[in-house]
A and B are shown apart, each in its own frame.
Chain A
Amino acid sequence: MNDPGKNEQIEDRAKTLFDDSVERLDAATLSRLNQGRHKAMDELRHAENTVSWGRWLPAAGVAAVAVVTIMVMRGPVDVTDGPVTASDFEMLIEADSLEMFEDLEFYSLLDEVDPETNGNVG
């Protein structure tokens, strides 16, 4: 049963049949293989780009640490003179302000009346 000649015969015949079936794959299958290969190549490019950006990570880390150090050394920034403060918001949400919104029609009427006529009425 361990005849090397017969083993070779089996191997050769199997190889020939296999190669034949590979050569005759249909176009749709070949197209899908092509698409798969393109996806793999996209993956390779993506991996290379990631590595390329990764090279700058240590430098970016050092720069970030430097910026934070400078900010800490300069001390806290004074925000009391800023354009909008917490007290401005408090004024907006006070109850008096809501009353003003209720009388909005009256104020707009006053605005439309001629100032001279307004004086006579007063």
Chain B
Amino acid sequence: MSTCTGVFAVSCIREQRTGAKALQRERQLNQFLTEVERRALRIAEIAVRDRDEALDLVQDAMIKLARNYAERPEGEWAPLFYRILQNGVRDWHRRQKVKNRVMVWFGRGASGEDDYDVTANAPDLAGRSPDVELQTHEAMQRLEVSVHELPGRQREAFMLRTFEGLDVAGTAVAMGCSEGSVKTHYSRAVHRLREKLGDHWQ
């Protein structure tokens, strides 16, 4: 009888420890997602040029990370999260291509890309003078368009390295390629952006 009680007690203690661990993990994941969600949204938005679509993509990435990778070490979350997000963005572009082909077939032509209203999706004013606000807004608009027009892999490398601040190894995990490829894509991306933005950025 005493053996049974002992086994039950050990089982209960183990359950409590597991529960405390799960709670701690939950808090850590919540904190990670809180820190990363805004930048992730803007990165997705620049890639797909649609805020609603970007919100859906970020939400999907958060859910998939929580469902499949919550048990992985905390340091791995950022590259994994961005890998899921980048896969989502790629799938979105594939679907858009198919959709546009179908639209062309039915004589409606491609849509979506040019419908994006930069002004409507611009961030709120932050107590700056209208001139400064306008300059910042225009510069961001040029940057968004230029980054969006980069080839897919270059865009990914540039946004993950510059905007999210991932290192080369983390970017390689997020992009699912070698570190050498990341360096090449990134270098080409910066080169192209310098060509496109040119004088505005001197």
Q: Please report A residues at the B interface, Cβ cutoff 8 Å.
A: 1-2, 6-7, 9-11, 13-15, 17-18, 20-26, 29-30, 32-33, 35-37, 39-41, 43-45, 47-48
B143 touches A1 (CB 8 A): no
B38 touches A36 (CB 8 A): no
B63 touches A40 (CB 8 A): yes
CA distance A25 to B44 in the complex (A): 14
Q: B135 → chain A, closest Cβ, in Å?
A: 10
B59 touches A18 (CB 8 A): no
Q: A17-B143, A18-B42, A44-B66 are in contact. Are A36 and B26 (CB under 8 A)?
A: no
- What 0/1 pattern do residues 113 to 134 of B give for CB contact below 8 A with A? 0000000000111100000000
The 8 Å CB contact of B197, one of A10, A32, A36, A48, is A10
What residues of A have a CB within 8 angstroms of the CB of B197 in the complex? 10
Q: B140 → chain A, closest Cβ, in Å?
A: 5
Interface of A is mostly: helix
Q: A29-B55, A32-B55, A36-B55 are in contact. Are A7 and B42 (CB under 8 A)?
A: no
Tell me the residues in window 124-153 of chain B with beta carbons closer than 8 Å to chain A beta carbons: 124-126, 136, 139-140, 143, 147
Q: A29-B51, A44-B26, A44-B66 are in contact. Are A1 and B194 (CB under 8 A)?
A: yes
Q: A106 → chain B, closest Cβ, in Å?
A: 70
CA distance A22 to B126 in the complex (A): 12
B29 touches A23 (CB 8 A): no
A18 touches B201 (CB 8 A): no
A6 touches B194 (CB 8 A): yes
**19 additional contacts, CB 8 Å, given A6-B194, A40-B63, A47-B66?**
A1-B191, A1-B194, A2-B191, A14-B193, A17-B140, A20-B136, A22-B38, A23-B123, A24-B126, A26-B123, A33-B41, A33-B55, A36-B62, A36-B63, A37-B30, A37-B62, A39-B59, A40-B33, A40-B66
Closest to B25 in A: A44
Closest to B194 in A: A10
- What 0/1 pattern do residues 62 to 90 of B give for CB contact below 8 A with A? 11011100100000000000000000000
